[in-house]
């Protein structure tokens, strides 16, 4: 496989000075204001069955800056404001392409605080990064080195709900190269009792990160609930305490998933997973917390982009494929298999662990799709010896 340089974001913590924090906070507010103004204009046009382009909103931004009401937009760098309009354009492109929902307005309290700078709005020299409108470089904690000779194409500054400041540098990383071809393939069945069950029989325990901090989180939330609503200092501090607990949970979860997906990609040439609709599954009020904590969508996202980096293949089998009820040894399909049945014996005499069998069935279905093309399936017979039962074919990832 021909090697191509991958653009990769390197994220670091930094500690801004009071002046830098004030400048960035103003920029975050202006970015949010411009995004919401442009979205309002485009939404009104959409209601009239018209479309407004990025070029038109860019011209509107120039006009807004000349008004007395919005003159404060001139106080910050213009580049993050233009980038906000580009991000809105991308959101509409994804909406029209039926890949995302209609863009939503940014909330001052809930939306992510961030600003994106392109090369014309920052200077990166000798390992020091200086943003537009700032006299001093950012005090960055270089927790890992950038690739040698790397020059960022974009820089994104953000602040999370816990008050932590981050800077993300997008660079070309020549160290990311396709791995040597491996002759192994694995099926992966996700779950709640075990986070992952592999077709090899290995089961990865579910760390249940949220459950470990549930008492601490509940205490912080009770303290927040007792504070008076509004913009008081006590409520802000209580809100930050809750955010810090959530951040701790998210950091542990992300770290675990990164290690897990990196290992799977390095060890296997082909990885077969199930095409789950997590967004619909979390509507189940009894399982929503556990499903969200398992972060199946994040697992799949990491798996797919790392497979792309390292020359591996991820195949997603259709969500309706009966992986648990299908005997991976003979292809017999059971009529029913309640969730409380964790082991079962097929008519062929094979005793299955429910999750391991599902992983093996997914692997067989995914490899059949990869070799024979979409729609191809090993023949399956019903317990009564009936003819093969048709199922939806799995969808292979692009």
Tell me which residues are annotated as active site: 189, 274, 355
Q: Provide CB contacts within 8 A for 37, sequence distance 6+.
A: 60, 64
How many residues are present in the chain? 398
Instruction: Choose among 189, 153, 191, 198: nearest CA to 172.
Output: 153
For residues 325 and 333, is the Cβ–Cβ distance under 8 A? yes
Diameter of the chain measured on Cα atoms: 81
Sign of the dihedral defined by the CA atoms of residues 150, 155, 156, 162, in that order: positive
Q: What is the strand order of the sheet 185-190 is part of?
A: 203-205, 194-198, 185-190, 270-274, 313-317
State the virtual CA torsion across 99, 105, 109, 114 in degrees, nearest 10: 60
Q: How large is the angle between the packed helices 54-65 and 18-47, nearest 10 degrees?
A: 120
Q: What is the SS3 assignment for 163?
A: coil
Between CA 198 and CA 210 the distance in angstroms is 24
Phi, psi of 11 (to 5 degrees): -110, 135
Region of residue 225 (left: phi > 0; alpha: psi -120 to 50; beta: else): alpha
Region of residue 31 (left: phi > 0; alpha: psi -120 to 50; beta: else): alpha
Between CA 220 and CA 96 the distance in angstroms is 41
Instruction: Choose among 398, 367, 395, 205: nearest CA to 271.
Output: 367
Between CA 154 and CA 120 the distance in angstroms is 9
343-345 and 154-159 as β-strands: parallel, antiparallel, unpaired? unpaired
Between CA 170 and CA 10 the distance in angstroms is 6
For residues 124 and 154, is the Cβ–Cβ distance under 8 A? no
For residues 389 and 333, is the Cβ–Cβ distance under 8 A? yes
Between CA 95 and CA 266 the distance in angstroms is 34
């Amino acid at each position: 496989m021909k090697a191509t340089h991958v653009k990769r974001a390197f994220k670091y913590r930094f500690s801004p000075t009071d002046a830098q924090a004030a400048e960035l906070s103003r920029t975050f507010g202006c970015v949010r204001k411009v995004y919401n103004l442009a979205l309002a204009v485009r939404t009104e046009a959409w209601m009239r069955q018209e479309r407004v382009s990025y070029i038109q909103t860019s011209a509107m931004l120039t006009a807004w800056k000349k008004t007395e009401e919005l003159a404060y937009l001139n106080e910050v760098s213009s580049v993050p404001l233009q980038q906000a309009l580009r991000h809105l354009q991308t959101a509409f492109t994804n909406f029209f392409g039926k890949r995302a929902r209609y863009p939503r307005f940014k909330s001052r309290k809930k939306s992510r605080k961030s600003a994106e700078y392109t090369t014309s709005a920052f200077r990166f020299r000798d390992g020091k990064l200086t943003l537009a409108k700032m006299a001093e470089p950012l005090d960055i904690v270089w927790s890992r080195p950038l690739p040698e000779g790397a020059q960022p194409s974009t820089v994104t500054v953000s602040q999370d709900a816990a008050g932590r400041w981050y800077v993300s540098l997008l660079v070309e990383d020549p160290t990311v190269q396709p791995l040597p071809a491996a002759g192994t393939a694995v099926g992966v069945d996700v779950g709640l009792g075990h986070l992952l069950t592999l077709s090899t029989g290995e089961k990865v325990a579910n760390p249940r990160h949220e459950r470990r901090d549930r008492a601490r989180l509940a205490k912080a939330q009770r303290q927040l609930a007792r504070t008076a609503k509004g913009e008081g200092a006590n409520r802000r501090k209580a809100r930050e305490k809750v955010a810090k607990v959530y951040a701790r949970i998210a950091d542990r979860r992300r770290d675990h998933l990164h290690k897990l997906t990196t290992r799977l990609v390095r060890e296997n040439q082909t990885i077969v997973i199930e095409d789950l609709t997590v967004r619909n599954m979390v509507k189940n009020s009894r399982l929503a917390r556990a499903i969200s904590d398992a972060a199946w969508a994040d697992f799949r996202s990491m798996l797919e982009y790392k497979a792309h980096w390292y020359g591996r293949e991820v195949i997603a089998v259709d969500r309706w494929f009966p992986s648990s009820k299908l005997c991976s040894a003979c292809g017999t399909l059971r009529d029913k298999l309640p969730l409380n049945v964790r082991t079962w014996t097929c008519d062929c005499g094979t005793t299955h662990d429910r999750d391991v069998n599902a992983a093996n069935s997914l692997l067989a279905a995914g490899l059949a799709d990869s070799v024979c093309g979409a729609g191809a399936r090993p023949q399956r017979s019903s317990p009564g010896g009936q003819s093969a039962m048709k199922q939806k074919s799995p969808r292979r990832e692009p």
